[in-house]
Amino acid sequence: MRTTATVSTLPPVANTLSLASPPRSLPLSLRLRVALGGFATMIGWLVLGFGLLASLIFVGQSELMTASRFDGPLRVTEGKILRHEWTTMMVEGSYVVRVFFEYSLGDTPMQGVSYARGTVPADGSPVVVEYSAEDPRVARIRGMNSAPFPAAVAFLLIVPGVGLLFLLYGLWRGHRHTYLLVHGLLAQGQLVEQTETNVTIHNKRVYRLTFVFVDEQKRRHQIRARSHRHQNLLEHSTEPVLYDPVSQAAVLLDTIPGSPSAGGNGCFEPASMVEVLRVLVMPAVAGVLVWLGTWFPL
């Protein structure tokens, strides 16, 4: 059940956070933590990694990759099956069979590989071979496939595409947050509305928050955010806000990944090594998944 709490008027509260004048120096560790630590960025790396792994395995071994070889004029000749072997790959519930065959062009013996599903002719059986007029080494048995998987598996490319969109969005947000940490002006946001959502993170309820702040030109702005770290915001209803007077971009300081804190000199403190390693895990996982995908034969 959703609940909404609204604060109609709040007394002005002085800033309790003191920041150095922009531009501020930002430690490399904090830059990495902010740029790579967003939820969309982490999800993007994971989906992109698994999507590329699936694409390399399936799309890389599909007729989508071999179709261009047979686009030109084709010629036919007689050949015979040398041997066949069952693979562990399945398409539409049937195991894929790898079929080795031979054919001759004049006095030159040639060999090739085709793929079929289900039963295949016995070894030594005659077959009709199609080969490229431009490159006779490119050949397949008529009626069989030139790759284990059909071109239809190209739909799997949607997965890394979605992951890339998440990643780009997350990196854009990370760049914006980094910019505001360096160049943003400080204001004090006052909570005017808190709405409970149906989402929980780590067994904590996520709230939709609406804050209002006044910039240096005495203009009133509204900013919205979601957070699960605020349980008593109606009692502690002010939050520091960083904003850019030119682009009008603004963010609650406490919702930036890592919740950056400032030291006595007004500059932001470095992020811990544990936090940095944590945000580097997902890019590393994505890299390992892609590397594993390259081990599959194309």
Range of the domain at 88: 65-148
Which residues have CB under 8 Å from 44's CB, separation 6+? 163, 164, 165, 166, 167, 168, 169, 170
- 64/69 Cα distance (integer angstroms): 10
CA 166 to mean position of chain CA atoms: 5
**Dihedral, 225, 227, 231, 237 alpha carbons, nearest 10:** -30
Residue showing tokens 């059909």: 150
- Residue from 170, 179, 200 nearest 279 by CA: 170
On whether residue 185 sits in a domain, the answer given is: yes
Distance CA 186, CA 216 (A): 9
Residue 255 lies in a domain: yes
The verdict on 273 and 247 lying in the same domain is yes
pLDDT of res. 60: 87
Residue after which a domain boundary falls, among 129, 148, 167: 148
Tell me how far apart the 2 most distant CA atoms of the chain are, in Å: 96
Q: What pLDDT is attached to residue 16? A: 62
Whole-number Å distance between alpha carbons of 82 and 104: 13
Residue-level pLDDT at 196: 79
Classify residue 163: in a domain, yes or no: yes
Q: Please answer whether residues 55 and 149 qualify as being in contact, where contact means their C-beta atoms are separated by less than 8 angstroms.
A: no
| pLDDT attached to residue 107 | 83
Task: Determine what percent of the chain is predicted with pLDDT higher than 90.
Answer: 41
Q: Is the residue at 129 inside a domain? A: yes
For 28-49, write each residue's pLDDT tens digit.
Answer: 999 999 999 888 999 999 999 9
Which regions in the chain score pLDDT beneath 50?
Answer: 1, 5-15, 232-235, 298
d(CA 250, CA 176): 9
Q: How many structural domains is the chain composed of?
A: 2
Q: With respect to residue 60, please indicate whether it lies within any of the assigned structural domains.
A: no
The CATH number for 90's domain is 2.40.50
The whole-number pLDDT of residue 10 equals 45
